[in-house]
Copies of this chain bind each other. A is one copy, B any other.
C-alpha cells in the first residue's frame, strides 16, 4: 500500500492521435464533458437522452426506436449485440478477416452459440459470392461481420452481404466501431438488425460509450427469449425502460458526462453533414496514401477495399517499427498504431478519424516519417 499522493494530470501533453483510436477531440466536446452533472432521472437530462437517440438515428440512418448509447466502450457494444440475442445452441455465422471478427467469434462462443465461420486472409475482404453459397446451404439465427476491420484497414462489403441476409430469416449484426461517421453506414437501407459502434473513432468523442441500434424485428426476438439475458448490466429488455416511455425506470446510473460529450460530438458530425464528413475522410486518406507512396512505402490493403480512416502501411524491410513509433511519440508528439495480433511488426496503422482527419495532420505525419525513415 502506497502512502504518497501524486497528481499526474498537470503533465499530460497534447499528442496528435493518429492511431486506431482514440482520435483527436474537439474543444467543444472537452467543454461538454465538464458541463455540470445532472441526475440520471432529471427531467432535463431525459430531454438530452431523447435528443441523443434522435442524433444517433440520423448518424446510423435508421428509424429504429431502440437506438441508444450503452454504458461502456465499443467492446461493450459488441457484447450487448450478442448477449441479448444468443441463447445456448443458437447457430451463428461470423465472417472473419481480422482481430475484431475473431473477437466476435470469442464473444459468441462464450455465450454458448454454435459458431460457424468463414475466414478470409487478413488484408483482404469478405467475398460476397462465397457468403451467398453458404447462406443458401445453412440457416443461422445471426450473421455477423465487421464493417471496418481496424486491425487490417479493410472495408467489408456490408451492403452487399445485407442484400443476401435479407433473403433469409437471419438477424444481420454489424460492427461499425471504426466506420461510423467516417464513411457511409446505412442501417435501414442495408437491412442491418443489430449494429454497434464506439465513440473514440470517427465521432471524436473520448472512449467510454457504445452507440447501438436494434431493428423492431430483433427487439421482438429479444422479447421472446426463453431465458433472461445472462448479463444484467447489458440487458436491453430492462435498459429500454430507462431510455423509452412516459415513466423512465432506473436501471443503472447512466454515465452522464460521457453522454453530454456524445451529444456534442454527434451535434458536430450532423452540423458538418454526414456526406461532408465522409468526403473529408476520403480526401485526406488519398493525400496520405499518395504521400506515403511517394516516400516508397506500400499500403497493406488493395485500393478497392481500403478504409479511409484506418491506413495499414507495410513496415519496410530492415526497419524496427517500434523505434519509429517511439520516436514519433517522443520527438514529434504523434501517436500511430502498431500491428495487432498476427500483424504485429508487419504494419503500422495510421488513423485519420474524425477530428484527426485534417490536411495539416496528414502533413505532420508525412513530414515526421520522412525525417525518421
Contact = CB atoms under 8 A, between A and B. Distances in A.
Given A2-B57, A73-B253, A230 B110 contact: yes
Query: How often does this chain occur in the complex, in copies?
Result: 2
Interface in A292-322: none
B263 A8 contact: yes
A139 interface: no
Contacts of A1: 57-58, 61-63
B106 A232 contact: yes
Interface string A21-39: 1101100001111111111
B79 A270 contact: no
Interface in A106-157: 106-107, 110-112
B34 A14 contact: no
A36 B58 contact: no
B263 A7 contact: yes
Interface residues of A, number: 89
Interface string A228-258: 1111110000000000000000111111111
Contact of A233 (B13, B31, B79, B258): B79
A42 to B, nearest CB: 6
Interface of A: 1-9, 11-15, 17, 19, 21-22, 24-25, 30-40, 42-44, 47-48, 51, 54-55, 57-58, 61-63, 71-76, 78-79, 83, 103, 106-107, 110-112, 198, 200, 206-208, 228-233, 250-258, 260-261, 263-264, 267, 270-271, 329, 335, 340
24 contacts: A5-B55, A6-B267, A8-B51, A9-B260, A12-B38, A13-B36, A14-B36, A15-B36, A17-B39, A22-B39, A25-B37, A33-B257, A34-B34, A37-B206, A72-B76, A73-B255, A75-B251, A75-B252, A83-B231, A106-B232, A110-B231, A206-B257, A206-B258, A207-B256
